[in-house]
Amino acid sequence: MGQQEYHRASNALVFGAILTYIAGLMLLMAFTSPYWIESYQETFSSFKHMGLWEYCFSEYQHPYYQFYRLFDGCHHVFSHYFYVIREWLLPPWLMAVQGFCTIALIVSFASQVVTIFIVIRWPLRFVLNYEWMLSSIAFVCNGIAAMSLFMAVSVFGGQCWRRDWLMYPNFNHLSWSYAMAVMSFILHGVAAFLLYLDFNSGYKRREESRNLVMQMHHNPHVQHGLQPIGFI
């Protein structure tokens, strides 16, 4: 009896996994960098730039704070430095954007973990038995990430020009961190489509994989790529 071959990861799965990792990296950059929106240099605005978790000012005096205080430098939005103006810095719509991006980051990471196990075929018996289910999990995670990022960039893009948030919104423009979030949304969507194709084909061939696992169970030499030794 010769070596029993098992099917490799499909091209759709491999490309979907690659896109998921690229999209996850872009999401991580957007999540941590403070350049979702920034001011034009020639305006000399006291507001410089901000991200989901950080604001940067240059001698900014908040008009609605009754005491004289200048805010300067870059600080975490939840730091004690911004305590007195945090309610203004974190309107409900921005907290919603933070929540959507956090959800997207978690499910994107989960999808990356699942796809790497499918691609490397480890543990082999488990992957062959439940590949269609693992592909469906990765597909759902990418779909959730794409939808969450769509909501995040839509809400932020629609609300960042409000005059009750940053002063002089016409002095500002969306920056590269926001662009990273948009690109991550698109790539997660494409990856979700590719993983759906793999899940659909894997669901149809699950019986073939199940039969192969049964053969491996009765012939342990197959699992290690060995051929049984006969006697002359």
User: Running along the chain, 232 residues long, what does each successive block of 10 average in pLDDT?
Assistant: 63 95 98 97 95 96 85 96 94 98 98 95 86 93 98 97 92 98 98 93 69 64 48 36
Per-residue pLDDT, 232 = 36
Report if residue 132 sits inside a domain: yes
Which residue segment(s) compose the domain that 130 sits in? 11-33+90-222
Per-residue pLDDT, 228 = 47
Per-residue pLDDT, 208 = 63
Per-state percent for the chain, helix, strand, coil, to nearest 5: 65, 10, 25
Comparing CA positions, the residue from 165, 147, 179, 124 lying closest to residue 9 is 124
- Tell me if 228 sits within 8 A of 1, measured CB to CB: yes
Report if residue 154 sits inside a domain: yes
| 163 contact partners, CB below 8 Å, separation of at least 6 | 169
Report if residue 56 sits inside a domain: no
| 202 contact partners, CB below 8 Å, separation of at least 6 | 10, 131, 132, 135
Report if residue 215 sits inside a domain: yes
Per-residue pLDDT, 2 = 38
Report if residue 166 sits inside a domain: yes
Strands 54-61 and 70-76: antiparallel
Q: Residue for token digits 């305006």?
A: 43
- Alpha-carbon torsion, ordered 160, 163, 165, 169, to 10 deg: 50
Per-residue pLDDT, 229 = 43
Report if residue 43 sits inside a domain: no
Per-residue pLDDT, 9 = 85
Within 10 Å of residue 139's Cβ, how many Cβ atoms?
24
Report if residue 42 sits inside a domain: no
Domain count, the chain: 1
Token digits for 213?
């696992």
Token digits for 117?
């196990």
Report if residue 72 sits inside a domain: no
Sequence letter at residue 213? V
Per-residue pLDDT, 216 = 66
